Structure 1
Amino acid sequence: MNVTIDKYAYATIDPSCGELVEFQALDADVSESCVASEVVASPGPLQLMKGVYLHLCEHHLGGERPLVRVRTHSDAPPGSGLGSSSTMVVALVAAFAEYLSLPFGEYEIAQLAYQIERNDLGLSGGKQDQYAAAFGGFNFMEFYAEDRVIVNPLRIKDWIWAELESSLVLYFTGVSRASAKIIDEQSRNIKEGRSDSLDAMHRLKVEATQMKESLLRGDLGRFAEVMQSGWQAKKQSASSITNPMIDEIEELAFANGARAAKVSGAGGGGFMMFVCDPADRLRLVRALSGAGGTVYDTHFTHHGASSWKLG
């Protein structure tokens, strides 16, 4: 189960000023210009841009490589656990589809983003982030074999939407982490037959359904219980998901009104999310603000990736 928030990834594409293809990661202050035939998706801040460019050129433009300038930036810091990398790939695919007049819908954009990030570039991870960014809003997602995905939009009543938004606190620990290492450990535990890791995964699957049901009913007390149970299960899937810093922040939060906690994304750092009674929100925010990180003011959004052309 997933919901999008008002933190965005941005991609701008326009014709190159010269005879080169230009890539610019504006927030990282990194840029590169090269001959179109020499574009290679090597690791680094420009890897995602180049990966999307190369995939679309090869599979949708018959090998043609247009001379373009690609610029990106993101509201979320890298390694944050908010799905910033996958969201950026979705933004790039949507921007290129608009620029090249390719007839992609949400499913096509999400699946392409997944293929580019996971298969072409070999970056470890799942696929819920791509579908969340493409569709937007509250969604219950089902993943099956052979890349079959069903995204079920949830009709959340306005008062439930407002109450949950008022109950959530998003806190950036200030520590970025490499999600691939944690995901690789989870995968390795499953392949090696670690029963505790496999049991944790099964619990998380069941709790996704329980969380959906409690949210649709507006039972936010049960929602918090399920979220906390899911966090305990998640910590069993890999040893590096939590650490002393995360444990200390969690303890501080519970001493100041938190009813549930969770580390976003793979874990190990990045953002932590807490559920509290809205009346305890200010106390919790003040406590977390004194812990060295940053509390982010966020709101849920109804819409996913969008693109447009300037005349």
Structure 2
Amino acid sequence: MGKTRMMGTLQIERRSVHTSGTSSRDAGYAGHRPGRLAMQTVQSIDRAFQILEEVASDPGGISDLSRRLDLPTSTVARLLTTLERLGGVERLAEDNGYRIGSAIVTMAASIDPNQSLLAVAQPHMVDLVEQVAEAVGLSIPAGYDVHYIGQVDCANPVQVRDWTGVSLPMHIVPSGMVVLAHWPDEAIDRYLSRKLDRYTPRSVIHPRRIRERIERIREEDVSWMEEEFAEGISSVAAPLFNAAGVVVGALHSHGPTYRFPDEALRDIISGRMRSTAQAISAALGHVA
């Protein structure tokens, strides 16, 4: 059985506060009125949690959240900016609104494993490792990236590193492409209108070719890439859906290009990847 790795930590950037250039009145205020500052800090935390609870139940934009929470637009905008920087929320590609971010999802995976996507998928991932003899991983969308949240290693002594905790652009890995393929067309248009980075000489960054791949993924529900993210690595992925039919992540397997995939087994591996992804989606309540 493979070894399971999970990411259950959140790194938060800590910034020092410099007081140079402040007036003596400002310094006195900071030094002698800590109660008011503490009260303001608690209020900000309280409001930030209100926002997190609201976007968790119903994603929305700044104006919409301001109206629903009866908070000033400027306050909501400021708190969303901070939460986005920390990974607490992320922008929705289709309408510039906000939803719960990858950092919250990752923490939830460690705090409440019985309810997490990773916990649901993990036994299926273990089975798939035995079937394809390569490492199997799980990722979730995080803005215009995919964020890797867990992996089950294979028994082979030579294998690809664990990418848990790493985020990569959607167009550069199959786990991102299978998510992108199930976005609305206008959201795909916005993604492709951006500058797309090339990671290797084989990376596909032309919008027309990416659209062709998207059409193929929509027909086959699986995507293969060879040496497009990194030389010497090949990978395959399939999408995962929740009960509402929304794509919530991707299941992938990767290995060294010299042995993966065995061309004689490519179709078999594709089929097993699809069926395993469908089983995980069904466990999440999705009805095909």
- Provide the TM-score with structure 2 as the length reference: 0.29
Asked which structure has the greater RCO (Cα within 8 Å, sep 6+), the reply is: 1
* Structure ID, larger Rg: 2
